Amino acid sequence: MPRHPGRETCRAAWTYQEDFPVSPTPQVHGTDARTGVWFIGARGAVATTAVAGSAAVAAGLYPATGMVTATAPFAASGLPELSGLVFGGHDTHVVPLTKRAEELAESGVLPHRLAAAVQSELAAADAEIRPGGPLPGDSRDEELLIAAFTADIEDFAHRLAPGHTVVVNLASTEPAPTPGDPRLPPSSLYAAAALRAGCSYVNFTPSTGLHHPALGDAAAAARAPYAGRDGKTGQTLLRSVLGPMFAQRALDVRAWSGTNLLGGGDGATLADPAAAAAKNAGKERVLADTLGALPQGTVHIDEVPTLGDFKTAWDHIAFDGFLGSRMFLQTIWQGCDSALAAPLVLDLVRLLAAAHRAGLTGPRPELGFYFKDPDGGSSGLAEQYTELLGLAATLREAR
């Protein structure tokens, strides 16, 4: 078994960077208007990392590593500056962002000095977090919950982000709704509130969100662009590269099995078989789309609490070559989930804010590059990247 890159390894890397700092990174420039970012799950690890990371990159403390929108093809696309992002959100937890950042630094997810360096930005975002729901015992019906969530988002947008606000779902994965159940799951309640408030929307989770049949008409009439679902950060990222490789080289994939070891909140949530099934659906779709059929094999998700916010993913691929020669490929992916996800979240916020300003509405298949289960388009990463560059060109032309 490969050794997991534990806390000491990660912390050593961060310490090296602080003791021998890189050259300051220029701010990611765009328009001057402030852009609102409303996180569902605003005190979770990904949201905390995104807020802290946005402040750190905007201040030139760290480079924008992992942010595709900070690369040359997007330089003239009119994306909002990171320094112009203002954060708020909903959460059912009460631990403040400043404390969450300290906990993430202690576990090796964030640089150990970063929480103190961006404390004011974390505190400002935490002051804009409102109670989420529904909590046990909440007697409000769906309409009252949607109305309450909408009011919170609109109040935030009117006070702090009159330009535009992007709602991003980062909450824990839900089990898929039972077929025929008319009730809206929490993710769909928040999605409905985002649409009602006229906000762009990102579903970075496998949860239902806008995909509930009861929201079909509202999604079709959306006044802003939206994208989802389930951010592509690790194992499925590799699958979206390797799947087309096998297909394009006419190699017959017989079986593709995988195992995920997860700690932290994701590990605890996905220990529920129903939540794990919702998560695995996107992983399977990538293989079915790129290979033409789903090969044998399954993906197992195992909770390992000591891993914290880190994860390890193994894939075992069995394939046939010329004259039936049997061959195998095995891959290992080890990473920090929040550090992988946060730059993608910031990319999506910037892209959807610019898309809204350009007059684009509805589902944006051009953003499939970021998702396991995108709203249309290709499942191959190379083709998805080409489509993303096409969106960048559209945004440049619309300026």
CB 356, CB 395: distance < 8 Å: no
Handedness of CA 209, 274, 131, 111 (dihedral sign): negative
| pLDDT at residue 286 tops 70 | yes
The tokens for 184 are: 């809206």
Looking at residue 348, its amino acid is L
Closest of 194, 175, 195, 193 to residue 185, by C-alpha? 175
Q: Say what the pLDDT of residue 160 is.
A: 96
What domains does the chain contain, in order, with CATH numbers? Answer: 7-231+339-398 (3.40.50.720), 235-336 (3.30.360.10)
Least confident range from 228-232, 341-345, 392-396: namely 228-232
Confidence of residue 180 (pLDDT cuts 50, 70, 90): confident
| pLDDT at residue 17 tops 80 | no
Mean pLDDT in residue range 238-247: 92
List pLDDT tens digits, range 21-58: 333 333 444 444 799 999 999 999 999 999 999 999 99
CB 295, CB 247: distance < 8 Å: no
Q: Say what the pLDDT of residue 15 is.
A: 34
Mean pLDDT in residue range 152-161: 97
Kindly state the helix (H) or strand (E) to which residue 39 belongs, with its residue range.
strand 35-40
Looking at residue 131, its amino acid is P
Residues facing 377 on adjacent strands: none
What is the rounded distance in angstroms from the CA atom of residue 316 to the CA atom of residue 240?
A: 15
Who has greater pLDDT, 268 or 159?
159
